Amino acid sequence: MRARLLWSALVCSVASLTIAGAVALVLTDQSLPIAKANAQLKLFWLLVVAAPLSLTLTALVYALLQALIGAPLLRTWLAATQAHTEVGAPTEPGRSELVQLATTVRWLVDTLASERRSAAEVELSLGRVKEALARSQTELVSQDRLAVTGRLAAGVAHEVGNPLSGILGYLSVVRAQLRSGRTDDTEAALERIEHEVQRIDHIVRALLELGRHARGGLEPVDVRAIVDAARSLLKSTPSFEAVDVHADVAEGTYVTASAGPLSQVLINLMINAAQSMNGKGRLWLRTVRDGEHLELIVEDEGAGLSPEARQRLFELFFTTKPAGQGTGLGLAVSKQLIEHMGGTIRAEDRDAGLRGARFVVRLTAV
């Protein structure tokens, strides 16, 4: 490659030498006073003027060609040679450098096209995997919701059964009074019936809130209402018979969330707290405002958290409960639900000197 550049420079120098000689001949032929020394002047111009000029032009042309063409081609050739040795690019022995360079560039273009097709296939596969994971996550949330509903079934049956029994009793009283023509206690009986119906309505609404799916849209949610509904659903379940629940949530406390998933998370945390205390002890529910965020705190008097449990508590299928008593879904699903609402959930031990664990749900305050 360098030889070709040098050959080009020599051609340019010969051309410049010819031009310089022609100029010298013209100048000397037109100088009439020194016509007798014409031959010596021609030699003088050739040796003194034309030869150094041609050499200078040769050097300049060579340097210019080397800078504009030679150096870039040399770097490209070295890169092509490296490609031959490192990635197994095809070679054509005996061919010129430019031909081999063109072969390498074509091979690289074809390789890049193949890699682009492979990347597109991988991206498509990742999209399918993402969809499958999303479906699995939805199924896990539904399974956990069913598990929570199953834990609540006995308490809900009791809570609904008692008002229904009361309603039937008061209806019998009203019927008897109507038959006897006495209506002294009819209004009071109707008021009791209305009260029992409102109890049932409250329980049913709480169950409906629990069953609502998160549909991507967040809205202001009344934290006090969520806490009251969770207490109503849990207070008659076997695991809460000896649990004293203390709630300190002011009215008008709102967060940006989804009511159903937030109820599911709170009920999970309360059930875990009761189980950690073996169904006997005190449980606290309170809120703390922290700037633009609100923390919903659940504290218990249980055994607290071991170092291993603290590290793996929110892992899917991890549970500290005996076999057959825990699915390992509750806290993992709760973490996913809270993160979907733009919040966080963390677990820690209570303050020094206090027995038990603390779970903190942090959401955006309204």
307, burial (CB in 10 Å: exposed 0-12, middle 13-18, buried 19+) = exposed
Looking at the fold, whether 342 and 194 belong to one and the same domain comes out as yes
Residue that finishes a domain, picked among 56, 88, 120: 88
The residue type at 128: R
More confident position, 78 or 48 = 78
Helix ranges (H only) for the chain are 2-29, 38-44, 51-65, 71-87, 97-180, 186-211, 223-234, 259-276, 307-312, 330-340
Question: Which phi and psi (to 5°) does residue 261 adopt?
Answer: -60, -35
Please tell me the pTM assigned to this model: 0.52
Is there a domain that residue 39 lies in? yes
CA distance 217 to 341: 9
Looking at the fold, whether 164 and 280 belong to one and the same domain comes out as yes
Residue 294 pLDDT greater than 60, yes or no: yes
Report pLDDT for 32.
44
Looking at the fold, whether 163 and 21 belong to one and the same domain comes out as no
Is there a domain that residue 129 lies in? no
Contacts of 49 (CB under 8 A, 6+ apart): 20, 24
CA distance 176 to 180: 6
Residue 169 pLDDT greater than 90, yes or no: no
Looking at the fold, whether 205 and 262 belong to one and the same domain comes out as yes
Q: Lowest-confidence range among 88-102, 233-247, 255-269?
A: 88-102
Residue with tokens 């019998």: 172
Looking at the fold, whether 84 and 191 belong to one and the same domain comes out as no
Looking at the fold, whether 280 and 341 belong to one and the same domain comes out as yes
pLDDT, tens only, 109-134: 888 888 888 888 888 888 877 777 66
Looking at the fold, whether 190 and 272 belong to one and the same domain comes out as yes
CA distance 315 to 334: 11
109, burial (CB in 10 Å: exposed 0-12, middle 13-18, buried 19+) = exposed
Nearest C-alpha neighbor of 88 from the set 70, 111, 122, 62: 111
Quote the DSSP letter at residue 235: T
Is there a domain that residue 344 lies in? yes
Looking at the fold, whether 173 and 62 belong to one and the same domain comes out as no
Structural domain boundaries enclosing 56: 2-88
CATH code of the domain covering residue 212:
3.30.565.10
Residue with tokens 């809900």: 156
Question: Which phi and psi (to 5°) does residue 249 adopt?
Answer: -130, 120
**Which helix H or strand E contains 363, and what residues bound it?**
strand 357-364
Residue that finishes a domain, picked among 88, 122, 150: 88
Number of domains composing the chain? 2
Q: Which two tokens stand for residue 273?
A: 């707290």
Looking at the fold, whether 316 and 196 belong to one and the same domain comes out as yes
Is there a domain that residue 122 lies in? no
Residue 143 pLDDT greater than 80, yes or no: no
